[in-house]
């Protein structure tokens, strides 16, 4: 990775009318591939969701990714023309009942 392409960005986040300042690193251009899809991995380790990013409206994709993150899932990108995942049922509630 070319370190000259890394830029420090600034992003303000508001929380209860109070501005919190967050910083992030952005990489411009380069050889980085763009993901063709994403999967949601639950806290129990099961893959509970998958999304083809190429065939999904960007606004809808953002909502889906946001929901996965809100519910505590890890979002993993998938690359390449074809990929396949097997979805499972979350076992978090079953573990909590034991």
**Exposure class string for 71-93: b at 16+ Cβ within 10 A, else e:** eebebeebeeeeeeeeeeebeee
2-47, pLDDT tens digit by residue? 445 444 444 444 444 444 455 555 556 567 788 999 999 999 999 9
**Domain boundaries along the sequence of the chain:** 3-97
Q: How far apart are CA 47 and CA 55, in angstroms?
A: 20
Give the chain's mean pLDDT.
78
Residue in the block written with tokens 């990929």: 83
Residue 3 DSSP one-character state = G
């Amino acid at each position: 990775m070319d370190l000259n392409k890394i830029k420090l960005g600034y992003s303000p986040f508001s929380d209860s009318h109070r501005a919190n300042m967050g910083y992030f690193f952005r990489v411009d251009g380069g050889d980085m591939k763009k993901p063709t899809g994403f999967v949601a991995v639950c806290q129990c380790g099961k893959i509970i969701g998958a999304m083809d990013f190429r065939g999904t409206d960007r606004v809808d994709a953002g909502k889906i990714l946001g929901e996965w993150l809100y519910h505590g899932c890890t979002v993993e990108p998938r690359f390449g023309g074809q990929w396949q995942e097997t979805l499972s049922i979350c076992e978090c509630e079953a573990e909590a009942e034991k």
